[in-house]
Amino acid sequence: MQNKQRAALLILTLVLSPVASAQLTQQRLDSTIRVDNTNQTRREAVRIIDNIWWVGHSAVGAILITSSEGHILIDTTSTELAPWTVESIVNAGFELDDIRYLLNTHTHEEHMGGMPMFRKLLPHAILLASKESADVMATGGKTDFRYIVERDETDLFEPFVVDGLIRHGDEIRVGDISIVAHLTPGHTEGTTTWTTTVSEDGRDYDVVIFGGMSASGAYRVPLIGNEFYPEIAEDFVRSFEYLRTLKCDVYLYPRAATIELDKKLKKRGESGNRGNPFVDPEGCQHYIDFYEKRFLKQLNEEKAD
């Protein structure tokens, strides 16, 4: 069966009930508020810059990096909505079978719960993850410290086994794509940030695909005395420090509100495609500053208790 027919059949045969998502704002520094995933809708693939695409849905996405010799997909979105990611990729004109690697940012269900589905669709693709992420994937999320604390069944997914492990600094190449892994734990123990370089209008740009840096709130994941992740605070501090050393012209994260996806698309449309608003080095620093402030606020609150 051809890829497009296979994808169409999959999408038609799966029943989807979209779940919902609140947006982060500059004022939202209360680390005890949980993001509510609501009002998700289908979204056409968005070319961010050069060969990098947002695929997925309106609130959460996956990152597709393309080349003439094959593609890399980072994240899949959730178990329930991953068919929309398939639909987005196919409608953009890409062949699913051209995806060579499946990677991820962190092991939360809304971002990579659809990985087992992609494994079945793409048995030839190589799935790589950090050791800490691979361990959680193999249990379907049951060993994720957040799940152990909360016991929220919606955090679970179908267990799966990776094809290999990635380490800090490992490089993955497909054709002219070169992407580097950076282990930045805290949000999860195996959180991975990815970097690559792209060219547009005769200039090179450093792209950082952040792996997630949000502290989840004391009622969910304490930073002090966390018996399931004792090093969480130290990992956050080291990761924030390390992220500041990365060159960053374009920052991405698989949540639309976090990277101001719709705002930047509107700005690009209004400018007649003169200049790319996703080239946003200030936004890179804002991302780090914003989540570091949230982390420090929670840490100081816990110390004061």
pLDDT, tens digit, 9 for 90 and up, residues 34-82: 444 567 899 999 999 999 999 999 999 999 999 999 999 999 999 999 9
CA distance 52 to 7: 21
Nearest 10 degrees: Cα torsion 66, 69, 75, 77:
70
Q: Does 3 fall in a domain?
A: no
Hey, what are 228's tokens?
């399931």
Q: What is the mean pLDDT of residues 266-287?
A: 90
Q: Does 129 fall in a domain?
A: yes
Contacts of 168 (CB under 8 A, 6+ apart): 181, 182, 183
Q: Does 27 fall in a domain?
A: no
Domain that holds residue 292: 37-304
Whether 177 and 65 have beta carbons less than 8 Å apart is answered as yes
Confidence of residue 217 (pLDDT cuts 50, 70, 90): confident
CA distance 5 to 11: 10
- Provide the 10 A C-beta neighbour count for residue 64: 25
CA separation, residue 37 to residues 32, 41, 57, 94 (Å)? 16, 11, 12, 28
CA distance 24 to 8: 33
pTM attached to this predicted model: 0.88
pLDDT of residue 37: 53
Whether 42 and 278 have beta carbons less than 8 Å apart is answered as no
Whether residue 17 has pLDDT greater than 50: no
Q: Does 103 fall in a domain?
A: yes
Considering all CA atoms of the chain, what is the largest pairwise distance in Å, rounded to the nearest integer?
A: 61
Provide the 8-state DSSP code for 244: T
Whether 30 and 51 have beta carbons less than 8 Å apart is answered as no
CATH code of the domain covering residue 266: 3.60.15.10
Pairing status of strand 126-129 against strand 164-165:
parallel
Sign of CA dihedral 296, 235, 226, 212: positive
List, for residues 160-187, the tens digit of each pLDDT value: 999 999 999 999 999 999 999 999 999 9
Confidence of residue 218 (pLDDT cuts 50, 70, 90): low
Based on the structure, what is the number of domains in the chain? 1
Q: Does 49 fall in a domain?
A: yes
Q: Does 30 fall in a domain?
A: no
pLDDT of residue 38: 60
Q: Does 16 fall in a domain?
A: no
List, for residues 229-239, the tens digit of each pLDDT value: 999 999 999 99
Q: Does 8 fall in a domain?
A: no
